[in-house]
Amino acid sequence: MLSAKRLTAAALSAVMAVGAFTGCGSKSGESEKKSDYTVSMADLAGALGAGWNYGNTLEANTGGTPNETVWGNPEASQAMVDAVADAGFKTIRVPVSYLSKISDDGYKVDEDWLNRVEEVVGYCYNKGLNVIINVHGDGYNSVNGGWLLCNGSDQETIKKKYEALWKQIAEKFSTYDEHLIFESMNEEFDGEYHDPVPEYYDNINAYNQIFVDTVRAAGGNNTHRWLMVPGWNTDINYTVGDYGFELPTDEKNTAGEGRVIVSVHCYDPWDYCGEESKKTFLWGERGQQIVEINKANPKNKASWGEEDHLEGQMQKLKAKFVDNGYPVVIGEYGCIDKTHANSGIPVQIAENRAYYDGYLAGIAATYGITPVYWDNGYNGQYGFGLFNRNTQEQTQPEIIKAIVEAVANKDPKVGLDASVSSAEGSGEVQKQDSAHAYIGIQTAVYTFRNAWDDGTYGKESEWFDTLIRWEDTDGDGEDDIIDTGAAFTDAEIKEDGTYTVSVSGYDFSSDCDALNMLFVSTDLPYSSALRVKDIVLGIDGQETKLNDPVISEDANGNLYIEIVNKYNTEVSGSVDYTMAKDSFSISFTLEGVSNVLK
């Protein structure tokens, strides 16, 4: 999961060259950090609200040396934190790696690096946010310089170094109030995907106990600060189940009630949420709608891990921990951007993604659990990004809205009706006054009219209004373009209604007896708020209502209706027809046109 989440999309464009960073040791948020703010267990989930990860930044590193820009993101900034807060998130998790910033002699943390961590924490305090900091990549077997290894041979040295690290962190932030939460470590395991090894799990439990004891001993607000601890690989099942997880004791906590949070992650089902090699891009109730309405291939829908599974996971966490005085934070969740996994329905895939993220956030909140979305800063194919970190603009406003509203309202279904205006998630599309529908056709001998946006034979070419066939008219061995003399009738769309497009004036049966393609292409933006129904195929005036045409989105985000397509294996069923002696027509009814046109 490390490489897929952190270095997705060719390691964030081949891992950009190392950029310098500065740690000025700013005391941002000085006045806020010394307040008397406390939050009880009963109020914690509400106070934390919806969370967001400042991922691939302070935990980014190259060759074991932390550098916040080396994975392609800009330096963390107040402007970015402001944008996250303004979007409705109440908590920011800031993953931090230390690695080579810890000296071999005495385990002293580089002062400039710790100051930089404090500066980023200050950005969050300036906006009144909660902030979680952790020790992130130091526990990875896959990272050069990783040392906090539960399967390491010298556990005595590891534990001494770990204690020294947390002592310095806790002392640095001892005056910061309970807006600041410490998380002991991240996805700690032996790097192999199997059931936990008891010996190694014992080491993880020991690290958590060292963490709690060290922070409490540092004094100040650390005596009652909320502390997060994970189990094996921060996995729900390995934390809830009988695999060896032990909660640390917290005898020196002065809060008068528990102050330990259980940390888990959820990327279920992984083939939908994080696996790049599989074309699993549909999930849950919204995914089933896309299968039924848009005729998407059901094989592209996740076969497990749907709504009942996620709710079951939350129920287990609540029963095991929340009901017994231990809040739970899902420190990471989300699903990668697969909008281009199927070029025909990118908008629907994006809407499904918004539904998933909203559902997980909402079902977690319903059970008193805090969800923190994993954002790695990458926008594009297989990215987790919700914002453009250079401009601070929202790139996935529908996902953000679904998450924030789902948590606030404890409504996991709030994203079911999410409407994405663009497959790129880049904001509103300027609505046009009208649109057009065009019939497209290709016979088995390539007598054809292509889609309106085809670069060679489309709307901008001299051939678009010509039914073309190829024939060697001069005997030179090269086919020439022949105008068959047929005429097209296209349709202008301005409002709801029934529209007809057609081609007539040519005996198609004289060439062959089969179609390769028959379709309607449009420049009408596709949207889930646009409904297409009552599609009728006419052949020489004889009409047949069709039950299973494929209604989808073309590469430009416009409505596309497939009647026949021998090249598309996702076109279900078959259309019975006899080649026309004069005309083909396609009629269809549109509802919701006002949602996409002015």
**Residues involved in catalysis:** 187, 332
- Distance, in Å, from the CA atom of 175 to the CA atom of 170, rounded to the nearest integer, reads 9
- Distance, in Å, from the CA atom of 45 to the CA atom of 369, rounded to the nearest integer, reads 6
CA 570 to chain centre: 25
Q: Token pair 């989930």 is at which residue?
A: 45
Q: What is the 3-state secondary structure (H, E, C) of 78-147?
A: HHHHHHHHHCCCCEEEECCCCHHHECCCCCCECHHHHHHHHHHHHHHHHCCCEEEEECCHHHCCCCCCCC
Contacts of 339 (CB under 8 A, 6+ apart): 346, 347, 349, 350, 353, 381, 423, 424, 425
Q: For the CA atoms of the chain, what is the radius of gyration?
A: 29
DSSP, res 283: -
Tokens coding 309: 């599974």
Give the other-Cβ count within 10 Å of 194's Cβ: 7
Helices 284-294 and 346-366 meet at what angle, rounded to 10?
A: 150
Contacts of 589 (CB under 8 A, 6+ apart): 496, 497, 498, 499, 532, 533, 534
- Distance, in Å, from the CA atom of 354 to the CA atom of 339, rounded to the nearest integer, reads 11
Give the other-Cβ count within 10 Å of 477's Cβ: 6
Environment class of 419 (CB within 10 Å of its CB; exposed 0-12, middle 13-18, buried 19+): middle
Environment class of 573 (CB within 10 Å of its CB; exposed 0-12, middle 13-18, buried 19+): exposed
- Distance, in Å, from the CA atom of 111 to the CA atom of 115, rounded to the nearest integer, reads 6
- Distance, in Å, from the CA atom of 460 to the CA atom of 457, rounded to the nearest integer, reads 8
- Distance, in Å, from the CA atom of 471 to the CA atom of 78, rounded to the nearest integer, reads 66
Q: Token pair 């061995």 is at which residue?
A: 477
- Distance, in Å, from the CA atom of 551 to the CA atom of 569, rounded to the nearest integer, reads 14
Environment class of 569 (CB within 10 Å of its CB; exposed 0-12, middle 13-18, buried 19+): exposed
- Distance, in Å, from the CA atom of 532 to the CA atom of 345, rounded to the nearest integer, reads 15
Tokens coding 136: 């992130």
- Distance, in Å, from the CA atom of 573 to the CA atom of 549, rounded to the nearest integer, reads 9
Q: Which helix (H) or strand (E) holds 520?
A: strand 515-525
DSSP, res 300: G
Tokens coding 173: 């932030």
Would you say 506 and 567 are in contact if contact means Cβ atoms under 8 Å apart? Answer: no
